[in-house]
Amino acid sequence: MLTRLNDHGADATWITKDEIAFIVGLGTHCQNAHARLSDRRTIPNRKTLLRKYLKAARHRQIWDGLDREACLDMAATLLVDEKKT
């Protein structure tokens, strides 16, 4: 079972909503971090991170009650949106 710390520091079950929030946040740190760290290391862009999530998800066997299709649909939708920009 996947767990996370809730607002009170106690273990809480990682649910589909949490996984989708993680997916939505992929690469959002890059915009600010890229300007500061670009000369020290390569930071993957949002498109790359979404592609890697989708690729890894194909091999993921344990979803622990997460809605696999909802997660994959969100990642694919966000990737399509990124490709339009």
Q: What is the pLDDT of residues 31-79, one digit of tens each?
A: 555 555 555 567 788 999 999 999 999 999 999 899 999 999 999 999 9
pLDDT-derived band at 30, boundaries 50, 70, 90: low
Helix, strand, coil fractions of the chain, as percent rounded to 5: 60, 5, 35
The phi-psi region of residue 65 (left if phi > 0; otherwise alpha if psi is between -120 and 50; otherwise beta) is left
Chain centroid to CA 32: how far?
A: 17
pLDDT of 15-29, one tens digit each? Answer: 999 999 999 999 887
